Each structure stands twice: as C-alpha cells, then as structure tokens.
Amino acid sequence: MPEYRAPLADFEFLLHDWLNVSEHYAQIGKDDIDADLVNEIITQGARFAESEVAPINQIGDQQGCTLKDGKVTTAEGFPQAYQSYIENGWNAMLGSEEYGGQELPYSVAIPVHEMLVSANVSWRLVCGLTESAVLALEKHGSDELKETYLPNLISGEWTGTMNLTEPQAGSDLSLLTSKAEANDDGSYKISGTKIFISGGDHEWTDNIIHLVLARLPDAPAGVKGISLFLVPKMLPDANGEFTIENDLSVGSIEHKMGLHGCPTCVMNFDGAKGWLIGAPHSGLACMFTMMNDARFQVGLQGTGIAEASYQGALTYAKERLQSRAPQGVQQPDEKADAIIHLPDVRRMLLTQKALTEGSRALGLLYAKQVDIVRFGTEEEQAKAESIVAYLTPITKSFFTDMGQEVSQHGVQIFGGHGYIQEWGMEQLIRDSRITQLYEGTNGIQALDLISRKLVRDGGRMLQNTAALFSDMINAIQNEADKNMALEIQQQWLAGSESLMSGDAFDTASRAYDYMQFCAYSLLAICWLSMKDRAAQTGNDQLASSKAKTCDFYIKRLYPRALMHKAALGDSGEDLAALSLEDF
Amino acid sequence: MPEYRAPLADFEFLLHDWLNVSEHYAQIGKDDIDADLVNEIITQGARFAESEVAPINQIGDQQGCTLKDGKVTTAEGFPQAYQSYIENGWNAMLGSEEYGGQELPYSVAIPVHEMLVSANVSWRLVCGLTESAVLALEKHGSDELKETYLPNLISGEWTGTMNLTEPQAGSDLSLLTSKAEANDDGSYKISGTKIFISGGDHEWTDNIIHLVLARLPDAPAGVKGISLFLVPKMLPDANGEFTIENDLSVGSIEHKMGLHGCPTCVMNFDGAKGWLIGAPHSGLACMFTMMNDARFQVGLQGTGIAEASYQGALTYAKERLQSRAPQGVQQPDEKADAIIHLPDVRRMLLTQKALTEGSRALGLLYAKQVDIVRFGTEEEQAKAESIVAYLTPITKSFFTDMGQEVSQHGVQIFGGHGYIQEWGMEQLIRDSRITQLYEGTNGIQALDLISRKLVRDGGRMLQNTAALFSDMINAIQNEADKNMALEIQQQWLAGSESLMSGDAFDTASRAYDYMQFCAYSLLAICWLSMKDRAAQTGNDQLASSKAKTCDFYIKRLYPRALMHKAALGDSGEDLAALSLEDF
C-alpha cells in the first residue's frame, strides 16, 4: 500500500496564495481564524489522517465487516480511529456552536476531509454521513429534537445515517413505499426496508441516528408525499437514558465491489419509533438541504482517492527500473532507467496530477462560496448559493469520474503489479467506483446541471458563476494566459447559452457532454489562474511545477472540453431513433 | 449474473455477409468448410459457452483458487467444464492435423473463443494459453519434442503455460535472471522464480507443460541472451510414462483484483529438468511467434467481456422501471418507465453496442488475415503478415481499453446495484482490468505500433492495411457513406504519414494518441461498411440496427479520433519539461 502523505504544500498554496482566505474570513466575520490557525488545523489533520486513518485502509478492504447476532463489527482499528477522531474534535468542525460545534468555515474543514478520504474512504464515509444528518437536523428539526440529538451527533458520540433508497426506488424516490403511522404521543411508527445504508450499524458508538424517508397515510403520490423521520437505534427511557432497543434491524451487509471497510447495510424498520423532521410531506425539501453538501462530499472522495493514486504511482514510477528511456540512458549505474523517464508514463502521471490538483482547486473555490452561504450577508448569500447550486453537480460527477480515471492510470503505471491486491492500487479503482453512483448517479447530476441549473434557471446561476470566474481571470497578470482564460470562459458561456432552447429529450441527450464541457473549461481557467499566482509566490519550485502542469492541461486535457462542446450542437435524434428491437 | 446468450446473428452476419468467408475458405484451400459447417460450429460453441461455461463464472469469482500441500484446486465445476471442452474437441480447433488437430481457419475459431471469454474469462484463459504453447512448439520445437508433447497439448489432455515475467523483469525482459544449465543428456536444469503465471497449476490435467524463458551460462546480456525451454510438471520415466515429479513448485497464488477463477501462480523452478525450444539465445524470437496470437487473444477478451456487459445492461435497462422519460410517458400502465427510454442511458448502451460490435468486426477482419498467413500463397502471406503485424497492437490495446469502458458503462446503467457483487456487473470491470496490463501493457502496445510498426517499418504495413480497407470502402454502395469512409481513411493515412519523422521521445509521446486515433478511424470504416452490407441483406431489422448504431458511432464516437489526431501534431516537449521535483 503506498504510504499517504497529505499534500499540505498544495493546500497552503491554494488557501493562502490562490484564495486569500485570511481576507475572506475577515469579510465573513471569522477574523479569529488567521493563516497560522488554518495551517495548524490542516497540519494536525494531516498527522491524524497519515498516522491513524491510512494504516487501517487496506485492513478494512481485506477484513470487511461482519454481521453476527444482528450486530455489525467493522475491521480492526476502525473503532479506535473513530474514538481518536471524535476525542480530537474533528467531528465537530462544522457543527453549530450552540450545540457544541466549532462552526469553522467549510474551506478549513474541506482539506481535512480530503485527507481523510485519501487515507481511507470507507472509514471516512461513516463520519461524513453524521455531518449530513447534523445539517438536516439543524435546519429542519424541532428544538426538542435538536436539543436531544444534536450535541451527541456533533461531538460524534453518536453517528448518523441517511435512509433513502429502497429496492424499487433509487434515482426515482417517488416510488418509495416505506410507511409512517402516527402514534398517540406525537411520534411515528416507521415500517419498510431500506438498502445501501452506509454505516447502518457498527460498534463505534452506543447509538446511531437514522434519518429515514417514509410516507404518511394521507400522503399524496410521488415525491410530494415523502416525509423525513429521525429514527434512533436506541430510544430514550423514562430517565432520558438511551437504553431501549428500537424496532429496527440489519437485514444483511451488502457485498460490494469495494468500500469493504464501510458497513453498508440493508435496514429493516418494523414499526420503529421515530419523529418527524420538518413539516409532513416535506421530506424531499429537507433532504435538499443536505444535498449540496452530501454531493460535494462525494465529489471530494473523487479528489481524495485520485491524490492517493497519484502518490502511489509517482513513488513507484521513480523507483521501478525497467527499460531505457528513449531520450537516452538516464541512470547509467543501474541496469535500467526508472519508468518515470518514459513519455507514456509521464503522460499518465501528468494526467493524474493535472486532474487531481485542478479538482482540488475548484473544490476549494466551491468551499469558499459555501462559507459565504453560511456566514455572508443576505445579498452575498443569494449569489453564493446560486454558484454552489451550479457547481455542485459538476463537482460531484466530474470529480468522481476523474477519481476513477486517475485510479485507472495509477494501476496502469504499476503494470501487472497494479492488478495485485497487496500493492493497494486496484483498491482505489474499486473504492472510487461507488462515488460515480451514489448520492445520485453522475447521469442524474449531469441532468440536474443542464435542466435545473441551466435551462430552467434561465442562466442566472451561470452568470453568477461566470462573474466569479471573471474575477479570477481579471487577476491573471500574464497577458497571454489571461487572454486564453478569457477565450475559454467565452466558449463556456457561448456553449451554455446555446442550450437554453430545445425540448426535454434533446436537453437530456446533451447532459453528459455539457457537464464534461463545463468541468474541463472551468478547470482550465483554474489552472491558468493557479499558474499565474504560483509565479508570484517567489517559490520557484512551486511556480515551475504549476506552470508545466498547466501547460500539459491546456495542451492535452482541455481539448476534451472542445470535443464535448462540438457534441452540444446535436439533437438527441440519434439516441431516440432506435426501437427496443434495434438494440 | 446476467444470462449470457451468444450473439450468433451478429457472427453470422459478419462471417457470411460482411466477410464472405465461404469464398475466402475456397481461396485458401479450405473448400470443405461451407457456411453450414461454420454455422454448426459456432452454434455448438454457443451452446457450450452458454450452458457449461457461463454458469460457473460467478462461482469462480467467489471461490477463487486454493493452494494446499503444494497443489492448486480451482472452483467448483471448472475441471468438469474443461473435461467437456476437450472431449468435444474445442481445444483442437487450431492445432495441426499431423498431431491430431483440426486445422480450422482462425476465423472459425475466433467466434467460439469470444463466446468462451464472454462466458468466463478466468476459465478460458487457461485453455487459451495451451494454444499459445502449441504454436511455439509447432514452429520451433524439435521433432522429438513435438511428437512427445504436441498430441496431448492439442487434444487438451495436458495444458500449457507461459513463464516470462520475474519480479524485476516485466515489460523489460532483458532484465530476467532465471538460469538454465546443460545436463549431460541434452536436457537442461532450470532455476528461477516466475510471477503472474496463469494456469501455473490446477487439477484439470495430469500434466502441465511450462514454457520458460531463462539464460544459458554463456548467454549475452539483454534480450539476445534469452532462451526458451519446455519444462513439464511431470517428467517421463523409462517407459515413457509421465510419472516423475519435476523440481518445480507453486510458491503462492497471486491475490488479484479479479480473474479469481484463474489460478495465477508464483512458480519456483529449482533445477527443474527442461528442453531447449529452438536455438540457444533465440527465446525472444520463439516468443514472438506466439505474440500476435497471444496479444490478439487478449484483445478478444476485451470484446468478449464488453459483450457480456452490454447484454447485462440491456436486459436491465429494459426491465428497470424508474422515472418518466423526458419525451413523455412510455409505459402508462406502470408506475414508471423502463430506463432504456432515458437519453443518457441510451447514450451509454449505444456506446457499449457500437464499440463492442465494431471491435468484433475488426477482430474478424483480422482473423481472416491470419487465415491467409497460415494457408495462403507465399505472396498473400507476406502481405497478410504485415497487416496482422500492424493491427495486432491496435486490437490488443484498443479492444481491452474498450472492454474496460464498456464494463464501466454496464455498472453505471445498473446504478447502485451495479456496485453489488450479486448482479455480476462489477466483476466484468475487475476481470477486464487485467487485459489492459498483461501480454504487454497497452502503453507498450501503442509504442510497438508507432515505433516498430509505423516509423521503423517505413509505412509498408500501413499501406498494406490501407489497401485492405480500400477494398472495403470501394464496395460500399451508398455514395455518401463511401465518401465519408474515404475521407476517414485519408485522415488516417495523412495522420500516420505525418509521424514518420521525429525523435524517439516525440514518437513515444504520441504513441497512445496514435493508437487511439487509428482504432477509432478503422472502426468508423468498419461501421460504414457494415451499415452498407446490412442494408443489402434483406433483413430489415438488422439493417435498421446497424444503420442507427453506425450513425451513433460516427456522430458521438468518431470525434474521439479527431481529438487524438489533433494531439499528434505536438511534440513531447511538455512531457519532457518536468524535472523529477516538478511532479
């Protein structure tokens, strides 16, 4: 397994030099957070991820989780790492101060989250879902529910889960059939089966708080008849101690391609006691509160896994001696040259590096906007919200596709050894594959982007996002790079605006190409901006690395944007043309 | 696990309508093989693959192989399926008649091979390696070795393996250190450790014939000092019975990402007795005899796995009800429409179909050339050989990359269920991943294509291949399609010819783009030709399916060729620019 070292230098460059977060924190009323504090947090996060979370990643893949006598046990070291995580306050970074949280900016927490994913995505996933549950509860829960559940969820004393999917209801939640019936005491009786429940059970904590989508008896059909319920594994007794087992159980642990360290459960609710979160039939709206965060967090898994794969491949490419480089012998004292000198290996490594660092940059830019949504003025909030809305499906789908591509290159660079489990590289392909599927498949994300965030929105989100990128472009000092960024921006806007008309089928036909076109365009602008900013840091090594990687990106990856743009002019006629028999 | 049904109609269309094999067989002196016989062979092959090999595919993935007391046991049903395979003569299709083979044309055997791969690539791999060993022995073995070993290898009574890779010698065989020392009786004592040996041991047969690369004491350094040896697991006693255990053993079974059903072994040779095949120090030349076949067979694994994934995804897409189609309700009596009506699902299915059927066509076109190499006149042979040489790295690398992409789409169409092992779709990603690595990584293939098959060859192979495609294009009756095919051909030739100069680094930098450019171009021509031919069959359903899939290919997949072509004009300057510290 490649040893993971957090990319602290890149985080520091992005946060301080590229995004100037100190100024930003002052603007959103977080002036107590200075550069030293930020660096201290991410350095401690790096230490924790490297030394406590990464070492159990392969163990989790090998041991998986077991279900015995109705109880789930995770791999060796997983509960201990979680205990350390909550004792050191990592779970409380984002929770509200009122309930014991630290209310840190998202842009401080995201680097730590990325590191945890690089170190061990299975382990991190369970922690991450608690954060989603906290968000939903903070926004929509009654004061009583908040007081009862938030402190322990924020501290991490308890974990949270999301129970959405049912066998017949995946992308289409309107088909869900789990039921909720009112009890006399204001609580509800929840019945139904949920599948793919990450962290559905485990031995890490004494209680697990399930958020469950179900239908009330009088619910209208479709998505407007779904309500959200809080259903704890352990219920409070008369003394307020959580000693009573609720009527819910783990049906089985799913057998998955990867993510073996994460207990993904089939959950059976057999009249389990729960409480309504938000108004009746507003479950989907409550879920939407978490949606941006949950989807971006999945996107971040793509970046984190990509970083892990790049690191592993880079180390190997420097050490593996095989053949002589075509440009001439590089290591005359060795029997062969390291494969990093081979052009095709460099092509793969640079693809990994350019995609990973580009996605990290766009992700932190996104996180800065989330900070404004949370802590900005009302006017700033509205603008930032629309940028976040536009970028969410892009980060979720592109970062995860990118994570898969980068993991594939990582295995390829290892040659046959990449296929052998002991090296740890193939695990990254298997672990990252889920990220393209859950929290809405990437096809669903692309459709969300083009139909809801572009066409139906009439371009408002697009314009706000463009304004943010214009600021970035205007700050570029190198004229040639600035003009190139402007040209890329104009292509992106023109391509987007050309899609405003068209029927629903044509629009859906263009969705995937549009998502990719946007992502490769925005990453190109980020790269040109990073290159420019790096040149001003006085750090020659950084400037050289960013400039050359930027050049590679523009030359070899940005053309993908243009290929996808060319496809946008077409209708979906060719897709509609086939009858079922033609397939 | 999706039930596999062999694509017999497509094979029959390609063999008879598209390639006119009856005429071809008459020309190569195989006029006893008429259309009825071809159809009978592939129909029986389909029955065997569907009913005996496919059902044990998932069992193999789950049970894997075990090593106990030095002996390997494969999954339930694997030895029985092999017994049935050899009893029914499938192993002997290609072997020479002199030693009990059927000497069938390659183009008859290849459809059966593809079906076996679709059904179960782990199981098929072991059989396939015997065929490679037979090829090497037929061409380079002494009469005594041939008489002793060929009959049982051709019948399948024994299996064969290829022992090339060592821990420090993968892509670069010049680094291998296994040793061979002469015994007094003309045999040799072989010592060394080999890794990644598919079928290194199993309980299917009483003997296993290992072909092993090793160095003689007086061997020059590098690849010119490698010799090939035949090293049986069981040696003959004084009576010629194979009762004596040779000094070789299985060190371990590799833990792999997939291909669990195949016993991939670390083999230790501890002074094992073996015999030289071919002249001393000519081991690499002997290996090259098998190279085209072995590499194309790996490419075929890409096609076969792609077909399996497409079938699974198509069945699921027709059955899975989720959401309403954007063009309006399709199944009013159901709660939702089948997802095959969604444009983005169609995009993925058509990508699967167009790549799979296109690769199958190019593969059979290739097989027809191999027939000519084996059975044609001397002049025909030389031309066909050069076409085979040019196309081999393309089929190996493109088909296997394609197999990975198609398997990825298959999982994506299943949504979250695609990640669950029971459905069988994720196994196809894991199983196909090795095909991009073994028999020379796809990067090595791309380098072979551009440097050895294009630049160093001076374009002779290219011109012969172009002539073959010109014949295909000239036969297209639809003028517009013919002109389009001509234009694509001209682009391909112009792109190729532009690469004849350039230093070794630049050439290597362009290798991967060139391989992809060629593959997407040649598939485009195949598709236009297939569309045209299908229109002439009088089979309206076939004509409709091929025409619409061709349109999709030209519109949505051929642009990838142009993107790769654009990259060919560049030097490798951007790749060379980074110092080790810049990564």
Name residues 163-192 of chain B within 8 A of A (Cβ). Answer: 165, 168-172, 174-175
ipTM comes to: 0.97
CB A247 within 8 A of CB A271: yes
Q: In this complex, do A416 and B170 lie within 8 Å of one another by their Cβ atoms? A: yes
Smallest CA–CA distance from A335 into chain B, residue: B175
**Which run of H or of E encompasses B161?**
strand B159-163
| Contact A342/B at CB under 8 A | yes
Instruction: Residue A250: name the closest of A214, A201, A294, A298 by CA.
Output: A201
Mean pLDDT value of segment B246-273: 98
- DSSP for A488-533 reads HHHHHHHHHHTTSSS-HHHHHHHHHHHHHHHHHHHHHHHHHHHHHH
CB B295 within 8 A of CB B470: no
- B19-51 pLDDT, tens digit each: 999 999 999 999 999 999 999 999 999 999 999
Distances (CA, A) of B180 to B170, B189, B214, B271: 19, 5, 6, 8
Name residues 67-126 of chain B within 8 A of A (Cβ). Answer: none
How big is the CA angle at B422 (ends A249 and A60), to the nearest 5 degrees? Answer: 65
Quote the minimal CA–CA distance from A472 to chain B in Å: 24
How confident is the model at residue A357, as a pLDDT?
Answer: 98
Count CB pairs under 8 A between chains A and B: 259
Q: In this complex, do B417 and A170 lie within 8 Å of one another by their Cβ atoms? A: yes
Catalytic residue (one of B131, B307, B439, B581): B439
Q: In this complex, do B512 and A545 lie within 8 Å of one another by their Cβ atoms? A: no
| Paired sense of beta strands B208-214 and B159-163, if any | parallel
Please tell me the distance from the alpha carbon of residue A284 to that of residue A286, in angstroms, as a whole number: 5
- A359-401 pLDDT, tens digit each: 999 999 999 999 999 999 999 999 999 999 999 999 999 999 9
Residue A450's contacts (CB-CB under 8 Å, 6 or more residues apart) are A499, A507, A508, A510, A511, A514, A515
Q: In this complex, do A443 and B344 lie within 8 Å of one another by their Cβ atoms? A: yes
Quote the minimal CA–CA distance from A332 to chain B in Å: 15
How confident is the model at residue B388, as a pLDDT?
Answer: 97
Candidates A350, A443, A567; nearest CB to B575: A350
Helix (H, G, I), strand (E, B) or coil at B192: strand
Instruction: Residue A554: name the closest of A508, A487, A465, A490 by CA.
Output: A487
Name residues 398-417 of chain B within 8 A of A (Cβ). Answer: 404, 408, 411-412, 415-417
Q: In this complex, do B343 and A511 lie within 8 Å of one another by their Cβ atoms? A: yes
Taking CB atoms and an 8 Å cutoff, what residues of chain B touch A348?
443
Taking CB atoms and an 8 Å cutoff, what residues of chain A touch B256?
419-421, 426
Candidates B419, B563, B566; nearest CB to A256: B419
Quote the minimal CA–CA distance from A255 to chain B in Å: 6
Please tell me the distance from the alpha carbon of residue A18 to that of residue A474, in angstroms, as a whole number: 13
Name residues 139-168 of chain B within 8 A of A (Cβ). Answer: 165, 168
CB atoms inside a 10 Å sphere around CB B291 = 21
Please tell me the distance from the alpha carbon of residue B372 to that of residue B379, in angstroms, as a whole number: 10
Instruction: Residue B59: name the closest of B583, B422, B375 by CA.
Output: B422
| Contact A555/B at CB under 8 A | yes
Smallest CA–CA distance from A542 into chain B, residue: B582
| Contact A319/B at CB under 8 A | no
How confident is the model at residue A1, as a pLDDT?
Answer: 63
- DSSP for B259-293 reads -TTS-EEEEEEEEEEEEEESSTT-HHHHHHHHHHH
**Interface residue of B198, B320, B342 to substitute, partner A, most A CBs within 10 Å:** B342
Residue B287 has pLDDT above 90, yes or no: no
- DSSP for A421-489 reads GGGSHHHHHHHHHGGGTSSS-HHHHHHIIIIIIIITTTTHHHHHHHHHHHHHHHT--SHHHHHHHHHHH
Residue B321 has pLDDT above 70, yes or no: yes
Candidates B314, B433, B503; nearest CB to A411: B433
**Interface residue of B347, B512, B563, B580 to substitute, partner A, most A CBs within 10 Å:** B347
Q: In this complex, do A443 and B504 lie within 8 Å of one another by their Cβ atoms? A: no
Q: Provide φ and ψ at A273, rounded to 5°.
A: -80, 135
Instruction: Residue A213: name the closest of A136, A138, A153 by CA.
Output: A136
Token pair 């059966």 in the structure block, residue: B112
CB B339 within 8 A of CB B323: yes
Name residues 492-531 of chain A within 8 A of B (Cβ). Answer: 503-505, 507-509, 511-512
Q: Measured in Å, how far apart are chain A's first and last C-alpha atoms?
A: 43
| Contact A446/B at CB under 8 A | yes
Candidates B326, B436, B544; nearest CB to A412: B436
- A35-61 pLDDT, tens digit each: 999 999 999 999 999 999 999 999 999
How confident is the model at residue B570, as a pLDDT?
Answer: 82
Candidates B322, B346, B580; nearest CB to A172: B322
Mean pLDDT value of segment B412-432: 98
Please tell me the distance from the alpha carbon of residue A487 to that of residue B253, in angstroms, as a whole number: 55
How confident is the model at residue A543, as a pLDDT?
Answer: 98
Mean pLDDT value of segment B398-422: 98
Quote the minimal CA–CA distance from A356 to chain B in Å: 12
Please tell me the distance from the alpha carbon of residue A26 to that of residue A44, in angstroms, as a whole number: 23
CB atoms inside a 10 Å sphere around CB A69 = 4
C-alpha dihedral sign at B91, B92, B96, B102: negative
Torsional class of B281: left (φ above 0), alpha (ψ -120 to 50), beta (otherwise): left
The secondary structure of residue B258, as a DSSP letter, is: S
* Catalytic residue annotation of A: 439
CB A443 within 8 A of CB B345: yes
Taking CB atoms and an 8 Å cutoff, what residues of chain A touch B408?
404
- A118-174 pLDDT, tens digit each: 999 999 999 999 999 999 999 999 999 999 999 999 999 999 999 999 999 999 999
Quote the minimal CA–CA distance from B35 to chain A in Å: 26
Mean pLDDT value of segment A350-355: 98
**Which run of H or of E encompasses A329?**
none
Q: In this complex, do A582 and B549 lie within 8 Å of one another by their Cβ atoms? A: yes
Q: In this complex, do A441 and B415 lie within 8 Å of one another by their Cβ atoms? A: yes
Q: What is the mean pLDDT of chain A?
A: 97
Q: In this complex, do B326 and A507 lie within 8 Å of one another by their Cβ atoms? A: yes
CB A73 within 8 A of CB A66: yes
How confident is the model at residue A576, as a pLDDT?
Answer: 96
Residue B277 has pLDDT above 70, yes or no: yes
Taking CB atoms and an 8 Å cutoff, what residues of chain B touch A9?
none
Helix (H, G, I), strand (E, B) or coil at B366: helix
Candidates B326, B507, B560; nearest CB to A505: B326
Mean pLDDT value of segment A454-460: 95
Residue B240 has pLDDT above 90, yes or no: yes
Mean pLDDT value of segment B469-480: 98
Residue A2 has pLDDT above 80, yes or no: no
Q: In this complex, do A257 and B508 lie within 8 Å of one another by their Cβ atoms? A: no
Q: What is the mean pLDDT of chain B?
A: 97
Mean pLDDT value of segment A348-358: 98
Using a 10 angstrom Cβ sphere, with 0-12 exposed, 13-18 middle and 19 or more buried, the burial of residue B63 is middle
Taking CB atoms and an 8 Å cutoff, what residues of chain A touch B563?
559-560, 562-563
Smallest CA–CA distance from B566 into chain A, residue: A559
Smallest CA–CA distance from B554 into chain A, residue: A574
Please tell me the distance from the alpha carbon of residue B107 to that of residue A446, in angstroms, as a whole number: 42
Taking CB atoms and an 8 Å cutoff, what residues of chain A touch B447?
344
Q: 3-state DSSP: chain B helix, strand, coil percent, rounded to 5?
A: 60, 15, 25
How confident is the model at residue B1, as a pLDDT?
Answer: 63
Token pair 């899975």 in the structure block, residue: B320
Residue A432 has pLDDT above 80, yes or no: yes
Residue B437 has pLDDT above 70, yes or no: yes
Candidates A172, A344, A504; nearest CB to B326: A504
Name residues 15-54 of chain B within 8 A of A (Cβ). Answer: none
Smallest CA–CA distance from B336 into chain A, residue: A175
Rg over alpha carbons for chain A, rounded to the nearest Å, is 24
Quote the minimal CA–CA distance from B314 to chain A in Å: 8
| Paired sense of beta strands B188-198 and A159-163, if any | unpaired
Candidates A552, A559, A572; nearest CB to B566: A559
Residue A501 has pLDDT above 90, yes or no: no
Quote the minimal CA–CA distance from A340 to chain B in Å: 8
